[in-house]
């Protein structure tokens, strides 16, 4: 209708355009109301969705709508605002991808290998790929290759057989394909930030959309690394995160029992919380490889991790 109105601006075409716009608004409002009714109906049958809805109503429903784009940003401790896309991208890149200089010249060359290495096979079976795919959410956003988990799952076992061969070759050669290292970085606002706070770079966080095919290899490596770490005691006994059988409830129970034990002995229990700012972003790759080498992990894994971390 809009195109017809631009081509021939007659009173009849104008009335038709206005009627079409009214129908569009009505259709949008109808779908929004239908979506809301469906959401509340689902929440009435699922406690998790009910509490999600309650949290939204309590913390966000009264807030104004988010701005349609990233506002002018400024660095921490600097009041100068950047309004251009290039300037905002530079500020966000400094925040998300910090360069941390640490001494590494004294570290031994991990490429020399070790006389004794922990056992970790570089062979990948079809079942390994199927298991990794099964754990991946079907509706996760794909990377730049647009191959989604849903598509990979639909391809079935024949694709899993091919990916097993590719994964075995990748691990054996110690090479992670460059195509799978390329990520689309999406910037999202942290929840609960006001319009004024959104002008600070710390109010935003990155989401890296990586290749779903590459994530299969990452999952297989992570599973094998976790298994070796548990079997050979590579992790501190008190570490709770990313370990099977150590849930939040378990961690709370350990802390509670420690506090009660201190009280029974007449001591005072103190608890120190530390939040490391951008911890993962600031891990030095050379030190990471040295730590893996020092723990006795196999040479193929170190080469693969180095390739994975290379731009």
Nearest Cα neighbor of 203 from 65, 275, 96, 276 is 96
pLDDT range class, residue 21, cuts 50, 70, 90: confident
Q: What was the pLDDT predicted at 214?
A: 94
Within this chain, do residues 10 and 143 fall inside the same structural domain, yes or no?
no
Give residue-wise pLDDT tens across range 180-236: 988 888 888 888 788 888 888 888 888 889 999 999 999 999 999 999 999 999 998
Average pLDDT of the residues in 113-130: 90
Within this chain, do residues 126 and 14 fall inside the same structural domain, yes or no?
no
Q: What was the pLDDT predicted at 5?
A: 52
* Domains: count for the chain: 2
d(CA 189, CA 270): 35
Q: Are the CB atoms for 178 and 170 separated by under 8 Å?
A: no
Average pLDDT of the residues in 38-66: 79
Q: What is the 8-class DSSP label of residue 71?
A: -
d(CA 11, CA 14): 5
Average pLDDT of the residues in 9-38: 85
Residue 130 lies in domain: 73-309
Provide the 3-class DSSP secondary structure of residue 189: strand
Within this chain, do residues 93 and 208 fall inside the same structural domain, yes or no?
yes
Give residue-wise pLDDT tens across range 76-120: 777 788 888 888 888 888 888 888 888 888 888 888 877 788 999
Rounded to two decimals, the pTM is 0.71
Within this chain, do residues 247 and 168 fall inside the same structural domain, yes or no?
yes
Within this chain, do residues 163 and 39 fall inside the same structural domain, yes or no?
no
Q: What was the pLDDT predicted at 130?
A: 95
Within this chain, do residues 38 and 181 fall inside the same structural domain, yes or no?
no
Query: Which secondary structure element, helix H or strand E, spans residue 185, and what is its range?
Result: strand 184-189
Task: Answer yes or no: is 260 within a domain.
Answer: yes
Nearest Cα neighbor of 292 from 228, 239, 215, 219 is 228
Nearest Cα neighbor of 300 from 26, 80, 117, 131 is 117
d(CA 121, CA 301): 9
Provide the 3-class DSSP secondary structure of residue 207: strand
| pLDDT above 80 (res 1) | no
CA distances from 136 to 90, 94, 224, 225, 270 (A): 33, 31, 17, 18, 40
Q: What was the pLDDT predicted at 122?
A: 94
Nearest Cα neighbor of 227 from 301, 163, 173, 134 is 301
Within this chain, do residues 87 and 192 fall inside the same structural domain, yes or no?
yes
Range of lowest pLDDT (75-84, 202-211, 252-261, 297-306): 75-84
Per DSSP, what are the bridge partners of residue 73?
82
Q: Which residue has the tokens 């409830």?
A: 249
CA-based R_g, the chain, Å = 26
With helix as H, strand as E and coil as C, how does 200-222 read?
A: EHHHEEEEEECCHHHHHHHHHHH
Average pLDDT of the residues in 271-289: 85
Task: Answer yes or no: is 64 within a domain.
Answer: no
Q: Any residues with CB less than 8 A from the CB of 297 and at least 6 apart, and which?
A: 117, 118, 120, 225, 228
């Amino acid at each position: 209708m809009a195109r017809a109105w631009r081509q021939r601006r007659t009173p009849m075409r104008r009335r038709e355009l206005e009627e079409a716009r009214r129908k569009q608004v009505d259709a949008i409002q109808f779908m929004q109301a239908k979506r809301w009714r469906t959401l509340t109906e689902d929440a009435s049958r699922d406690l998790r969705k009910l509490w999600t809805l309650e949290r939204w109503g309590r913390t966000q429903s009264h807030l104004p709508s988010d701005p349609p784009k990233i506002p002018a940003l400024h660095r921490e401790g600097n009041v100068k605002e950047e309004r251009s896309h290039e300037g905002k991208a530079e500020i966000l890149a400094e925040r998300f991808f910090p360069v941390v200089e640490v001494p590494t010249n004294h570290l031994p060359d991990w490429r020399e290998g070790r006389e004794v290495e922990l056992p970790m096979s570089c062979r990948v079976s079809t079942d390994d790929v199927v298991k990794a795919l099964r754990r991946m959410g079907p509706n996760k956003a794909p990377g730049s290759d647009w191959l989604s988990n849903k598509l990979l799952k639909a391809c079935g076992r024949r694709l899993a057989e091919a990916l097993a061969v590719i994964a075995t070759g990748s691990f054996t050669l110690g090479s992670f394909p460059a195509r799978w290292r390329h990520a689309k970085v999406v910037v999202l606002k942290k929840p609960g930030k006001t319009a004024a706070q959104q002008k600070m770079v710390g109010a935003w966080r990155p989401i890296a959309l990586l290749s779903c095919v590459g994530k299969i290899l990452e999952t297989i490596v992570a599973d094998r690394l976790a298994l070796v770490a548990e079997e050979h005691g590579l992790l501190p006994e008190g570490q709770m995160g990313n370990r099977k059988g150590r849930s939040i409830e378990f961690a709370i129970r350990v802390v509670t029992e420690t506090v009660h034990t201190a009280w029974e002995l007449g001591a005072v229990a103190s608890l120190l919380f530390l939040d490391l700012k951008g911890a993962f972003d600031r891990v030095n790759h050379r030190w990471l490889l040295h730590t893996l080498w020092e723990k006795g992990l196999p040479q193929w894994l170190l080469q693969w991790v180095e390739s994975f971390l290379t731009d």
